Structure 1
Amino acid sequence: MSRPLTPLALAVLRLLNEEPMHPYEMQQRIRDYSIDQVVKVAHGSLYHTVERLAGQGLIEPVETTREGRRPERTVYAITEQGRDEAYSRLREFLRHPAQEYPIFDMALSFLKMLPPEEAAQLLDRRTVRLEAQLAAHDTVLTNLAKQGLERVSVIELELCNARLRSELEFVNAVSEDIKNGRMTWRPHDRRNGENNDK
């Protein structure tokens, strides 16, 4: 194996572990199962990932069909090597916390660049968006539960919602602390020759 499986590659192998399918069907299932909520799926990246997995022998074409004037569709199946790699990578992801670099964490570390009033306003706007995301995720979870999916099939969405709730509570608290003067600073602004707060 030349390099570790990416999350998207693992998602493809997970889908093919259920049954053979073509990339368009994988794309549909990724949306239907809300996998795109936990795995970044950029335009064209799925097809590139499928090609790479096939080149590595982790999946293999089992059928090619054509309907009318549509382009050929190749159905892929997971190989034994692919199944072994998927299980190995999944175990690694579960066992070892990875160092991640969330953008919001970075933005908070630079908060002192802004005046406190502006920072509080921006955090308040973030809470509105977080509330909307949380409501949307709750709706998705409710709908998936109505479809009879087992909890283990939506556990990643539960974690996503728990993170959203936690972030929402934290952002609200920080915004309130700024507005009530419990958290203060003077922004550093070299344009005006200021170096107020290090």
Structure 2
Amino acid sequence: MTFRRSTLAMAILGLLENGPMHPYGLQRLIKQWGKDQVVNVGQRTSLYRMIVRLEEAGLITAGATERDERYPERTVYHLTDEGREVCRTWLAEILTTPRNEFPEFPAGLSFVMLLPPEAAGELLGQRRESLTKRIAELQDELDTKVDGKPIPRFALLETEYQLAATVAEAEWIDGVLADLASGTLSWIPGPV
């Protein structure tokens, strides 16, 4: 069975590399390790649906069911050898091959001419303010310590990347705002 790659599927397979786990534990680790900043977990049902699909594809397998009087029964899942191989293949593909991921912001920019330049500048200014806050949040994440010790850099590479991308976007918006203010960038709003 061919399984379509997704970041959520890769996160589940990657976390199961550390050993068998139940879905709640996976969800908790995704959040605890900050992987929810780069993996769209969505609602808990999304995680459970993905687990079912991964099991049907033979990439993970159900093991024992844990019973604890404080919680409902929890099925523990294990990574299969095929799941480990698929995860490593996906990881190699993601790290080596740039891909157009169709983020919303560039899509919005592609229709900015529908707004008056002043309105576009105001909206981009608001985005710039949000980016300033996000940059501070990401910097705080990089400076986080656990038990008084810094988190190893390898565990924060996605945060470093997000910070670099956010700083680059903020600088780009600064340039666009400067061009809008000076009049070197302008247009007459209307249909494309």
Counterpart of 1:52 in structure 2: which amino acid?
R
Q: Is the 8 A contact 1:20 1:75 kept in 2?
A: yes
How far apart are the structure 2 equivalents of 1:42 and 1:94? 24
Aligned-partner Cα distance in 1 for 2:108–2:61? 43
Q: Hey, what does 1:133 align to over in structure 2?
A: 134
Find the counterpart in structure 2 of residue 27 from structure 1.
Answer: 27
Q: Which residue pairs with 1:194 in the alignment?
A: none
Residue 62 of structure 1 and its aligned partner are, at CA, apart by 2.1
From 150, 162, 166, the equivalent of 2:152 is 150
What is the alpha-carbon distance in structure 2 between the residues aligned to residue 63 and residue 154 of structure 1? 33
CA distance in structure 2 between the aligned counterparts of 1:137 and 1:179, rounded to whole angstroms: 29
For structure 1, list consecutive stretches of 5 or more residues without a partner in the other structure.
190-197
Query: Match of 1:193?
Result: none
Q: Could you tell me which residue of structure 1 aligns to residue 66 of structure 2?
A: 65
Q: Which residue of 1 aligns with 2:170?
A: 168
The amino acid of 2:7's aligned partner reads: P
Q: Does the 8 A contact of 1:58 with 1:80 survive in 2? A: yes
Q: What does residue 80 of structure 2 align with?
A: 79
Structure 1 window deviating more from structure 2 (142-151 vs 29-38): it is: 142-151
Deviation at 1:147, TM superposition (A): 4.4
The equivalent residue for 2:106 is: 105
Q: What SS does structure 1 have at the residue aligned with 2:68?
A: coil
Q: CA RMSD in A?
A: 1.6
Q: Distance in 2 between matches of 1:63 and 1:88?
A: 28
Distance 2:5 2:123 in 1: 37
2:15 counterpart of 1:15: yes
Pair member with larger Rg: 1
CA distance in 1, matches of 2:91, 2:115: 41
Q: Quote how far apart the aligned CAs of 1:171 are.
A: 0.8
Check the 8 A contact 1:22/1:74 in 2, yes or no: yes
- TM, length-normalised to structure 1: 0.90
Name 2:118's counterpart in structure 1. Answer: 117
| Secondary structure of the corresponding residue to residue 71 of structure 1 | strand
Shift of 1:85: 0.7
Q: Write the letter of the residue equivalent to 2:121.
A: A
Q: Per-residue CA shift, 1:136-182, capped at 9, x if unaligned? A: 11111211575443211111111111000000111111012101212
Secondary structure of the structure 2 residue equivalent to 1:24: helix
Q: Distance in 1 between matches of 2:152 and 2:185?
A: 44
User: Percent identical across equivalent pairs?
Assistant: 37
1:112 alignment partner AA: M
Q: Does the residue aligned with 2:69 lie in a helix, a strand or coil?
A: coil
What is the TM-score of this pair, normalised by structure 2?
Answer: 0.93
CA shift at 1:4, angstroms?
A: 2.5
Task: Give the C-alpha shift of residue 95 in structure 1.
Answer: 1.6
Q: CA deviation at 1:3?
A: 2.5
**Structure 1 residues 107 and 36, CA, compared in 2 at 3 Å: closer, same or farther?**
same
SS at match of 1:66: strand
| CA–CA distance in structure 1, aligned partners of residues 155 and 116 of structure 2 | 44
Q: Which blocks of at least 5 consecutive residues in structure 2 are unaligned?
A: none
Would the aligned equivalents of 1:4 and 1:89 in 2 still touch at CA under 8 Å? no
Q: How many residue pairs align between the two structures?
A: 190
**Residue-by-residue CA offset, 1:46-102 (whole Å, 9 max, x unaligned):** 111111111111111222112116321011110111101111111111121112211
